[in-house]
Amino acid sequence: MTIVFVETDPAGEVTLTSAEAITFARKNPQLLPDGGAATSREVSGPPSGSTEGVVIGPLSDAAVDALGRLGVGVIHHLEHPDLAEYSAAAWAQAIVDVTPESGTLLASGTPRGMELMAHAAVRTGARMAANVIAADEEGLLRQVHGGTAFERLRLDGDLQVLTIAGHACTPEETTPITPEIIAYDLTVAEADLATRVQRTEVEAADDASGLTSARAVVGAGRGVGSEDGFAEVLELVDHLGGALGVSRVVTGLGWRPHTEQVGQTGSRISPDVYIACGISGAIQHMAGIEGAKTLVAINTDEESTMVQRADYAIIGDLHEVVGAVNEEIVRRRG
């Protein structure tokens, strides 16, 4: 059996990355350490019901519906006053409580998913592989070196714990089913609450979710030139109703906050279009934009990786080019 930790957003909807992870689980019955030859009902039966989900906290009708459409046959619903605030240790133990001794436990490779799976791996004595992108008879394939290379590996043991790299898989719905919902009487150990979130400060600037869900992201790199050089790109962001994403050089120089950083150590995004302005295309930046459907580069250097990897490019100074793009948009609006 493959059991997936499902993240939901504040509105109670299943997050995009969790939908990816569920799709990955459903499409890879061979995730079982024995190569999928097990005779469990999940693997030998029809695809529906082969994947089970774990939801911690409120479970909305929308989430149940979405999970049914993603082919999740059973939802383990874990609710307890002590789990209302996030605590990795307590949440991980709750997940472990419903995880069978053999099979696969997985989550998407978000900060939460990574942290919970690592705790769960220690608590079950399992091995864990982070950032998995594929699975076949030979084993697992995962991203290493920021996506420059892949590691082929095999996790021994009855239970294997994984996280699925963001955008390794496109969410796909299947024949809808009505998931069975199982609720539990949980006990939460006091010691596991030592790492509980005390409070959350919500500021607009902290919200990276706008970046990960935007349909259009305008990227800005060192080529912007200075802290004051963002006027044109911000105007373009506004025209597109999108989000600004920046390279690490930009955050490193303190021009913009780290929440806007895209890449290996920033957000991983999957917009319909990513417009990279003055960004060279270092591998660690590319790791964050693999999910972009259309890639546009605006760069003075025709030879840069970003231009070579783009679908469309304009060669030139980004301030002039983006300025002209803004003018053209305004002109067409009339």
Partner 1 sequence: MNILVCIKRVPDIAGSVTLDAAGTGIDESGLGHTMSSHEECAVELAIQTAAQAGGTVTVLTLGPAEAVEQLRAAVAVGADDGILVEAAGPSAFAPEDIAQVIGDVIRDRAAAGQTFDLVLTGDDAADTGDFQVGIRLAYDLEHPVLTNIQTISVGGADGGGGSGGERGSGRIEARGIGPAGTEIFSLDLPAVIAVHEGGVDPRYPSITGRMKAKKAQVVEYDAPDPGTGSPRIRLELPEVKASSVTILGEGPEAAPALVDVLEEIGVIRP
DSSP run (H or E) holding 117: helix 111-124
| Binding site partner of 121, from partner 1, ligand FAD, none, Cβ cut-off 5-8 A by kind | partner 1
SS (H, E, C) 70-113: CCEEEEEEECCHHHCCCEHHHHHHHHHHCCCCCEEEEEECCHHH
d(CA 260, CA 115): 22
Count of residues in contact with partner 1, rule CB under 8 A: 101
Name the segment binding partner 1 (CB under 8 A); options: 29-37, 70-78, 94-102, 277-285.
Answer: 277-285
Query: Which of residues 219 and 242 has its CB atom nearest to partner 1 in the complex?
Result: 242
Query: Which of residues 47 and 225 has its CB atom nearest to partner 1 in the complex?
Result: 225
Query: Which of residues 3 and 297 has its CB atom nearest to ligand FAD in the complex?
Result: 297
| Binding site partner of 304, from ligand FAD, partner 1, none, Cβ cut-off 5-8 A by kind | ligand FAD
- Least distance between ligand FAD and beta carbon 86 (Å): 24
Q: Per rule CB under 8 A, is residue 66 in the interface with partner 1?
A: no
How many other CB atoms sit within 10 Å of the CB of residue 22?
A: 28
Query: Which of residues 180 and 328 has its CB atom nearest to partner 1 in the complex?
Result: 328
Name the segment binding partner 1 (CB under 8 A); options: 19-27, 59-67, 99-107, 276-284.
Answer: 276-284
In the window 304-323, what residues touch partner 1 (CB under 8 A)? 305, 307-317, 320-321, 323
Q: Per rule CB under 8 A, is residue 10 in the interface with partner 1?
A: yes
- Least distance between partner 1 and beta carbon 45 (Å): 30
Work out the burial of residue 204: count CB atoms within 10 Å of its CB; fewer than 13 is exposed, 13-18 middle, 19 or more buried.
exposed
Binding site for ligand FAD (CB under 6 A): 221-223, 247-250, 261-266, 278-280, 282, 284-285, 288, 298-301, 304, 317-318
Q: Per rule CB under 8 A, is residue 81 in the interface with partner 1?
A: no
Least Cα distance to 306 among 326, 292, 327, 321 occurs for 292
Q: Which amino acid does the sequence have at 46?
A: P
User: CB-side exposure of 281: number of CA atoms within 13 Å?
Assistant: 21
- Binding partner 1 (rule: CB under 8 A), the pick from 79, 151, 172, 301 is 151
Query: Which of residues 40 and 284 has its CB atom nearest to partner 1 in the complex?
Result: 284
| Binding site partner of 226, from partner 1, ligand FAD, none, Cβ cut-off 5-8 A by kind | none
| Binding site partner of 299, from partner 1, ligand FAD, none, Cβ cut-off 5-8 A by kind | ligand FAD
Q: Per rule CB under 8 A, is residue 16 in the interface with partner 1?
A: no
Are 88 and 109 in contact by the 8 Å Cβ rule? The answer is no
Using DSSP's 3-state secondary structure scheme, residue 160 falls into strand
Work out the burial of residue 253: count CB atoms within 10 Å of its CB; fewer than 13 is exposed, 13-18 middle, 19 or more buried.
middle
Work out the burial of residue 127: count CB atoms within 10 Å of its CB; fewer than 13 is exposed, 13-18 middle, 19 or more buried.
middle
In the window 174-203, what residues touch partner 1 (CB under 8 A)? 194-203
d(CA 306, CA 147): 16
In the window 101-130, what residues touch partner 1 (CB under 8 A)? 110-112, 114-115, 118-119, 121-122, 127-130
Tokens of 324: 């002209």
